[in-house]
Structure 1
Amino acid sequence: MKGIILTSHGTYASGLYQTVKMIAGDFPNIKIVEFHEGDNLENFDQKLIEAYNDLTYKDIVVITDLAGGTPFNRSVMSLADKGNVAFLSGANFAMVYQALSSEIEDLSEFVADVLEKGKSSITKFDMEEDDEESLEDGI
């Protein structure tokens, strides 16, 4: 299991994690760090470092909403020197759930698996091709 820091602009990270909890339950290996309008960058950096220090896992994966955004950039600036941290962007439900629940030990394989799960979950519904009954099932 890896430690996960989920970070975003606004409340996207906490909202996304609330959805994960609603469907799959609570996970002990996650810390949420959000960047809100008017936040001080140094305080945000400190929150990222505190989240890292609170997660007692061999490897830490930071998942952000947007590559190149403040949460992503500050995460890299604050944590890249730790050596056991990977940085991912484009957070969606599937990738966050996979990251929280995966048992893959190797960090490179873990990251590849999480990214693949996130990408493969992005689909387009086509009423002509998809079975209407599948809409009734839900999760």
Structure 2
Amino acid sequence: MNQIILASHGELAKGMKNTLDMIVGDLKTVQAFSSYRDEEKNIKELIEKEIKDNYEKNDIYVLTDILGGSVNNEVMSLLKDYPKIHIIAGMNLPLVISIAISESISDGLLKQLIKESQQSITDCNQLISKSLNRKEENL
């Protein structure tokens, strides 16, 4: 089973979890943590507890909002104690859904899921423009 930890600045991770729940149902294997400037508990401590509780039971995927951001850096520091976790920066909803609904994820499949999620980022104006240009060419 895959344990997914969503971690972000502000409410992004919680919003991602809420949207995931709406699309695929409430998954108990997905947790969301948000970082604030005035938080009582450090996000790293909260995530580390979740990792400790699941480290031997599940494959753990930690998705952070931005590579090199403070949240990503905090999570990256956990790799020395938990080398089996998978940390992915730049989360988006297609990637979260793909990991959440996949039973077993090989390194090759993870690479493919990341590539597919990157391809879901599209300039819709250009897409429409290309489509309209093709229609005009066919006339």
TM-score band by shorter chain is 0.7 to 0.9
2:123 alignment counterpart: 124
Work out the CA distance in 1 between the residues paired with 2:109 and 2:12.
23
More helix by share: 2
Work out the CA distance in 2 between the residues paired with 1:112 and 1:103.
15
Instruction: State the shift of 1:62 in Å.
Output: 0.8
Question: How many matched pairs?
Answer: 129
Query: What TM-score does the superposition give when structure 1 sets the normalisation length?
Result: 0.80
Query: What TM-score does the superposition give when structure 2 sets the normalisation length?
Result: 0.80
- Whichever of the two has the greater Rg, that structure is 2
2:46 alignment counterpart: 47
Q: Report matched runs for 1:55-74 at 5 Å.
A: 55=54, 57-74=57-74
Amino acid at match of 2:19: T
CA contact (8 A) 1:16 1:93 kept: yes
CA contact (8 A) 2:17 2:31 kept: no
Q: Report matched runs for 1:1-139 at 5 Å.
A: 1-39=1-39, 43-55=42-54, 57-106=57-106, 108-125=107-124, 126-130=127-131
The Cα RMSD (Å) is 2.1
Work out the CA distance in 1 between the residues paired with 2:89 and 2:35.
15
Identity %, equivalent residues: 26
Please, which moves more after superposition, 46-55 or 61-70? Answer: 46-55
What whole-Å deviation, never above 9, does each CA across 1:69-124 have from its counterpart, x for those lacking one?
A: 11110011124421211110111110011111112342x22421331221121112
1:136 alignment counterpart: none
Please, which moves more after superposition, 94-103 or 56-65? Answer: 56-65
Work out the CA distance in 1 between the residues paired with 2:92 and 2:117.
6
What whole-Å deviation, never above 9, does each CA across 1:22-42 have from its counterpart, x for those lacking one?
A: 1221112112121112336x7
CA contact (8 A) 1:48 1:78 kept: no
Amino acid at match of 2:26: D
Stretches of structure 2 that go unaligned for 5 or more consecutive residues are 133-139
Work out the CA distance in 2 between the residues paired with 1:105 and 1:95.
12
